[in-house]
Structure 1
Amino acid sequence: MTLAEMQRDFQSWLVDASEDAADRLSVHAAAGLAVYQNNYRAQLVSCLEHAFPQLRTWLGEEAFRHTAIDHIDHCPPYAWTLDAYAEHFGETLRRRFPENPDIHELAWIEQALSEAFVARDATPLSPDALATVDWDHARLCFTPSLRIQVMTTNVEAVWSALCEGRTPPDSEMLAEAGGLIVWRRGFTSRLREVDAVEYLALVQLQQNGSFIDLCEMLVARLGEQEGVARAGALLASWLGSELIIDVEAAEE
């Protein structure tokens, strides 16, 4: 048996508990291999528990553990670091809980906060830099840590209560869907709930960044006076929150 074959059999035993692989490794190895497999699964369960502490509380210990084991069975590690293992846990949650958007949105919050914390550093734009901007051709550039997600439930209130050790409210659907944004400001990952207009504005800007296109969208949605005023208010809010890192001139 070559080293590569041994490594493949060992991986097969860890992931699938393949008896054929165990036999090829050693006829006397079953007990010792079981130790490795138990450690492998325990490490991955622990990884998911640390990545989703509030979701674990929300689901309950037993339901979370069963979901974690299901995820381990269907999604073995694929990266050099366990930090990446939580990335696709949301897919398992959607498969196991297809009618529970609160679970999906809560998992998104925890994953987005982790991703924002390790995102590439960027210097926020100073308001003084706006003095010479040609707004007809301006393209807004957001911090690399920004994450945006539609919100259909009261998950922000649920997450806040869980973080503070309070009894969370019952999950309920919102009368109108809004959005969630996550970003890092300094050394702290932040979460904020936004209304439907701001969510749509951020989605559009992430696609093309054009400030004039944003204004046109807001005018079409809110009317000329209110649309222009809302564009200015959003710009001021994003600058104050250190979400914008640059304003580029769009190509003609």
Structure 2
Amino acid sequence: MSDPQDQRNPASSIDPNRPNVARIFNALLGGKDNYQVDRDVRDKLLKRAPALGDLARDVRAFAGRVTRFLAAHRGVQQFLDCAPGLPNTDNTHEIVQRENREATVVYAATDPVVLAHGRALLAENDQTHFVEADFRNPERLFEHPTIRKFLDLSEPVAVFHIGSVQYVSDARNPRDIVAGYIDRIPSGSYIVLAHAYDPEDGSFTPELREIYQNSEVGLGHFRTRAEILSYLDGLELVEPGLVAVSDWWPDGPRLKPQDPVQRLALGAVARKP
């Protein structure tokens, strides 16, 4: 499943006494792959912003809808997921391979928690692979032997950056990082982006910013719509464009009013012409 250089034991570097971003989001989603220290952070977040759990589920649902769309309606057969998180129900490879058993999915991560859980989950799946690679360095990532072996870059690839780029500081130039992926994938490929959003209308309060950016682990950088949209320059946005993740082709009518916090993540699918 994975290249030999990826067979190190990431479980050895898992610290149950320090909160971890992937485990905190697992806790927000109601998962069981977390420790008390992660649940303590989750509880602090929910005490200040109770709808954060709904936002986490909205992002997860957006990822599922996008994956089904690309696999079933755009015929994409190769997927590179650069923000896999902890395994949950309906992971990328499960959705993809329900549509096409021969489709290839490669997950890339550096988080030892995600690596340990992911490799255990995928041990018997020949079409899905997990690599230890830092998404912030696309040049090096695309040189990884597993990616070179299993992704055919003469054919379209869907690259997922769902919640990943928001962890990149301005000093690391997130726009250039995304451009590194755009430059390396062929025409007909897709970039899927979801990013924490600062609407600049006062709804993203200084208090909420403090919760996100100064928590024990730091939950990312919130950026304006114009900043997020600039990461997709040169691509063709699939309708409905860059919108709140819950508004990207929802599966049905909204049954209850949304909390303003649920508008604090934007998502888009963009095609390379």
Q: TM-score if structure 1 supplies the norm length?
A: 0.28
Structure with higher RCO (Cα < 8 A, 6+ apart): 2
TM-score normalised over the length of structure 2: 0.26
